[in-house]
Amino acid sequence: MNGMEKNWYGHAKEAGILAPLGLAAALAMGGSVSQSDGAQPGEAQAPVQVAASSFTPSPKFLETLERHEGFSPKTYRDSRGVLSVGIGFNLERKNAADLLMAAGLDAEAVMSGRRPITREEAWKLANADLKTAIADARNLFRNFDSLPEGIQEVLVNMSFNLGGHKLSSFKKMRAAVEAGDWAAAAAEMEKSQWRGQVKGRAVELVAQMRAGGQTAATEDPQPETKEEVGDDTVVVRQGQTLSGIAREHLGDPRRWVELARLNGIKDPTGIKPGQKVRIR
């Protein structure tokens, strides 16, 4: 287990996520998880029955998922205007208060923005969400368990981001996946409205789909503790967007305009990994 895997395993263990996911899945994944801010997760304490042929999230997948979602200790509005917190946790879902209380949090204090949450608490909230994302992907794609692992990762990532109901509307993409036509599936992803909403995330997932599940070789993103160059500067991670930086460090993705102005960035979609961005 490398340093990154140990980090994920530690967060998951502290968040109490290993037991609910099952020992086999926990040992294989080395970490913990989340889901789409549009979906309605099940009960937080429900155990996950992981079939032998089922998708088991790897540490790399989990790191990518958090990188795509971002982490915010304070409440924020996502790209669709949904009030969220942590790692894409939807505070407007019907059972949000119950899930917050099940995680040992003061629901009213968190939802009002008075009480920031820790990373470990964010992973606790994410527990039921990944289970739901995996279940939705398996239900929507009849051949899910026989697909290449990298393709499964794309589908679970999209399910986590969109929710099962919205993912179900990708009918041509679903048909292409079930036919094993990765190029056609990638083309349908590119044509979708979702592509314009999530930008860098979609670029990565489309490329992974087109390559049959293979991911481009990139340097491992630096852990959060090493991302900070100073109190006023951060280093852009692979796949990170200006709005994601604004959400993570300023609590509001809409403040990307301030960051662009502060850093003289003319094309906010063109920031690159390793680039330094002043946040104040």
Residue in 221, 228, 269 with CA at minimum distance from that of residue 248: 228
Whether the model clears a pTM of 0.85, i.e. scores above it, the answer is: no
Residue 196 in tokens = 């314009």
Calculate ∠ Cα 138-11-53, nearest 5°. 25
Q: How many of the other CB atoms lie within 10 Å of CB of 130?
A: 27
pLDDT at 231: 63
pLDDT at 150: 95
Q: Which CATH superfamily is domain 224-278 in?
A: LysM domain (3.10.350.10)
pLDDT at 216: 63
CA distance 25 to 179: 28
Residue 39 in tokens = 């979906």
202 and 193 in contact (C-beta within 8 Å)?
no
Number of H helices, E strands in the chain: 16, 6
pLDDT at 172: 96
pLDDT at 263: 87
Strand partners, 80: none
Q: What is the pLDDT along the chain (280 residues), one digit of tens a residue?
A: 444 444 544 554 454 444 434 433 433 333 333 333 333 333 333 333 334 346 888 888 988 888 888 888 989 887 678 899 998 899 999 999 999 999 999 999 999 999 999 989 998 888 778 989 999 999 999 999 999 999 999 999 999 999 999 999 999 999 999 999 999 999 999 999 999 888 889 999 999 999 999 876 544 444 333 343 456 888 887 667 888 888 888 877 778 888 888 888 877 777 877 788 888 8
CATH 1.10.530.40 given to domain 3-210: yes
Residue-range domain boundaries for the chain: 3-210, 224-278
Q: Which residues, 6 or more positions from 264, have their beta carbon under 8 angstroms from its beta carbon?
A: none
Strands in 228-230's sheet, in edge-to-edge order, are 228-230, 233-235, 276-278
pLDDT at 51: 41
